[in-house]
């Protein structure tokens, strides 16, 4: 169905906005970033909440605003400290982009946060949704947000079957949201529609009986709640086989290596990694460990920590992971004190192992 037709027949913008904001006034959560319109804090919250649920992201918001209360504090921090504080949230490029943008704001903009959608969009890691959220919430700019919650709510209410992860779908939903936004109170409208998707028009089993749009919702009318929104199939997920070599020396040192180059774990630390094309056997891994420079001419014992692969799922690949414990009879000069291992920013996969393993 053409959304414009449904939009004209079922809801006028004013009617839609009134219903939505009335619902929000009663049902909104008390979230820490809703008590401020400081663009630095709103920006932090929006970056943290990309790919992250509110419950998980809230402690990180408190941690960042406490350790880096201003954009100047974040800009002068070193990247390792930023990544360490981010540890556990995943998608680490968000933290690196956050840090880069803080330095950009301080150096290029004299510490003044950009105040228009167009200029906010120039920050690294900021796309249409994040720029729209900041511009509307902090500067009252009439620019509609469209995130996963908004896609879901609008696709159901207006019966839109265009895939939300297609170029045409993104344009269509943005245009509809822009038609619906309350031009007098864009900040409240945008927060309301995101909250509505998160709390009322939930992905599974929403309670449509209490929905303010139940009389006009086309998905409810046509029994399509479970099939909307439509999403194109993802690209095929690849499998990788990771073998982390956990060295424990006589002088209680271990080896952590910093990942360089591009990639999701860029600049994070990990144990020496041996990647194989298929699951590794003991003999196969032992021969590869013998070739590690740090263990040259040394005596060591190897045993497997986890008999069953630890499967770490990323958006585009699944990592089948084994940890191999290598006990060295001698002291090693390189490496770090085991007692200091928790000071380094590591991927959550490594962090979970460190927490469970009794060094």
Instruction: Determine the Cα–Cα distance for residues 355 and 352; give it in Å rounded to an integer.
Output: 5
Is 46 among the catalytic positions?
Answer: yes
Pick the closest to residue 186 from 149, 139, 151 (CA basis).
139
Instruction: Determine the Cα–Cα distance for residues 316 and 314; give it in Å rounded to an integer.
Output: 6
Neighbours of 210 (CB within 10 A): 10
CA distances from 55 to 31, 59, 83, 94 (A): 10, 8, 20, 18
CA distances from 96 to 178, 186, 312 (A): 31, 30, 22
The number of angstroms, rounded, from the C-alpha of 120 to the middle of its chain's C-alpha atoms is 19
> What's the chain's length in residues?
359
CA distances from 207 to 198, 292, 341 (A): 12, 58, 47
The encoded tokens of residue 191 equal 């927060």
Q: Which of 46, 141, 172, 195 is catalytic?
A: 46
Residues with a catalytic annotation lie at 46
């Amino acid at each position: 169905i053409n959304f414009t037709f449904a939009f004209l027949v079922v809801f006028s913008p004013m009617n839609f906005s009134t219903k939505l904001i009335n619902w929000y006034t009663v049902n909104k959560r008390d979230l820490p970033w809703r008590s401020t319109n400081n663009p630095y804090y709103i920006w932090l919250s929006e970056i943290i909440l990309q790919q992250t649920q509110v419950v998980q992201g809230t402690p990180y918001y408190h941690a960042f605003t406490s350790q880096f209360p201003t954009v100047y504090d974040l800009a002068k921090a070193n990247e390792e400290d930023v990544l360490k504080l981010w540890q556990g949230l995943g998608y680490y490029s968000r933290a690196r982009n956050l840090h880069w943008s803080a330095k950009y704001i301080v150096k290029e903009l004299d510490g003044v946060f950009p105040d228009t959608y167009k200029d906010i969009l120039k920050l690294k890691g900021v796309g249409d949704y994040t720029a729209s959220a900041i511009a509307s919430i902090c500067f009252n700019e009439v620019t509609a947000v469209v995130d996963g919650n908004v896609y879901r709510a609008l696709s159901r209410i207006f019966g839109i079957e265009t895939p939300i992860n297609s170029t045409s779908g993104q344009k269509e939903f943005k245009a509809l949201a822009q038609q619906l936004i309350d031009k007098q109170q864009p900040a409240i409208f945008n927060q309301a529609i995101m909250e509505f998707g998160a709390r009322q028009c939930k992905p599974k089993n929403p309670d449509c009986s209490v929905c303010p749009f139940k009389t006009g919702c086309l998905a409810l009318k046509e029994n399509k709640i479970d099939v909307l929104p439509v999403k194109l199939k993802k690209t095929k997920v690849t499998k990788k086989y990771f073998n982390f070599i956990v060295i424990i020396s006589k002088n209680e040192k271990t080896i952590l290596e910093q990942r360089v180059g591009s990639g999701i774990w860029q600049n994070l630390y990990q144990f020496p990694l041996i990647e194989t094309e298929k699951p590794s056997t003991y003999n196969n891994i032992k021969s590869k460990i013998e070739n590690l420079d740090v263990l040259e001419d040394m005596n060591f014992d190897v045993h497997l920590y986890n008999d069953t692969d630890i499967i770490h799922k990323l958006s585009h690949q699944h990592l089948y992971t084994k940890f191999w414990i290598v006990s060295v009879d001698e002291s090693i000069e390189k490496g770090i004190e085991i007692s200091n291992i928790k000071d380094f920013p590591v991927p959550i996969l490594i962090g979970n192992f460190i927490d469970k393993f009794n060094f």
